[in-house]
Amino acid sequence: MRKLVVLMTLLLATAAVRGQLRICGSCGREDSAGGEFCTACQARLPDIPPPPAPADNAAEGQEPSPAATLAAGAFEQARLDVLAARGEESRRPEVALALYGNARALLAVIDPTNLPPATGQSVLEGLQRCRVALAVTGQACPACSGSGRRQVVFQQLAGGSAEATTRSTSAACATCGGRGTISGTRDVEAARLLILQGRREAGLLLQAAGRVAAGSAWIPKAWAQELMPRQLAAIRRIAAADCQACAGIGLERCKACAGTGRKPCTNRKCRDGWVEEKPGNTLTPQTALARRVKCPVCQGTGAVNCQPCRGKGAVACARCKGAGLAAPCRTCGGEGVSECRTCRTRRHAADDTSLCPKCRNSGWMLCERCKGDGVVAR
């Protein structure tokens, strides 16, 4: 009995391997001979099903499409930029800001549906952290003049004709906690120059990594020849979107107060925050003694808020009107591409099947005015 079971098992395994195992519809027996009729009842067997198409195996072994290869390469390059930016956030947020911006530009060639979840969100959060870090700076504490210590003078009075004894000691400044600096808002012009310097430093890092410039973006060297004009313009548009006058901040230094946000007190009688008053209820006002009181306009500070900037030291950028974005190119409407002129002249030519050197038969070429940036450089 055991031999019979083993024999049947071998037969079933052999038939399964051959892909010819069929069941007779008349007697219900399994046929493994591969004939047209059942060996038991001589009934006609069902047709042998065709072998399964090797689609799955071929799909595993075939090379990925060019679009999939480009998407994988773009995601990997953007990932490297994000890792480099995270390493620079604590030391040089201006460099990290430029690296995050370049990663965001590289992701423009990928269909958003093909990106891993929260990929774009992580890049945007990094950009926001860097902007916040650049807006805040350390300023010398006005209470201790940046020393972090304050001198405390004690005077002990003595009776009689003895002179009072004076001694002084130093203590940690209560305003800054002994650090010597306090957090303050960075000047707009200083922030703009810092952002421009960060872009330069980030460009040097990416150039050393083998990237080449594509407008304001840095892309792998092979992409310069592989990308279609629309794909290249998508990268250049993201990298060149910021206003060049304000570096994307949307603000510029107030000229009325030179960025300080304060102006001298407008009260003509104010002298360093104090006003001299003479009592008017005396019979001899010429000889009455004057008294000093705080200026009611500046409250004793000697300065008032600047009216044009409302004390902030910055106003909206005159070029972008506070948007922080560059004006779109009028020739291409901000798309960065236009219809290929070379293809229009080759439409009825005999060599119409040859590859167009400008658009690579895509029908679109980089805008001749903005070179694919989608904005007008001034």
Q: What is the pLDDT along the chain (378 residues), one digit of tens a residue?
A: 454 444 445 444 444 444 445 566 666 565 656 667 777 777 777 666 555 554 444 445 567 777 788 888 899 999 999 999 999 999 999 999 999 999 999 999 988 877 777 788 889 999 999 999 998 877 777 667 777 777 666 666 565 566 666 666 677 877 777 777 777 788 899 999 999 999 999 999 999 999 999 999 999 999 988 889 999 999 999 999 999 999 999 999 999 998 888 899 999 888 888 888 776 665 566 655 677 888 999 888 888 999 999 988 899 999 999 999 999 999 989 999 988 888 766 655 545 567 787 787 888 889 989 999 999 866
Which H helix or E strand runs over 76?
Answer: helix 66-88
Could you tell me if residue 178 is inside a domain? no
Quote the domain boundaries for residue 351. 328-378
pTM: 0.69
Could you tell me if residue 361 is inside a domain? yes
Could you tell me if residue 336 is inside a domain? yes
Secondary-structure breakdown of the chain: helix, strand, coil percentages, each rounded to the nearest 5: 35, 20, 50
Could you tell me if residue 358 is inside a domain? yes
Could you tell me if residue 138 is inside a domain? no
Residue 22 confidence (pLDDT): 59
Could you tell me if residue 108 is inside a domain? no
Residue 16 confidence (pLDDT): 44
Residue 155 confidence (pLDDT): 63
Asked if 269 and 321 count as a contact pair (C-beta separation under 8 A), the reply is: no
CA distances from 90 to 94, 120, 258 (A): 10, 21, 30
Residue 282 confidence (pLDDT): 59
Residue 17 confidence (pLDDT): 41
For the chain, the domain total comes to: 1
Which of 80, 54, 375, 66 lies closest to 236, judged by CA? 375
Residue 101 confidence (pLDDT): 95
Could you tell me if residue 354 is inside a domain? yes
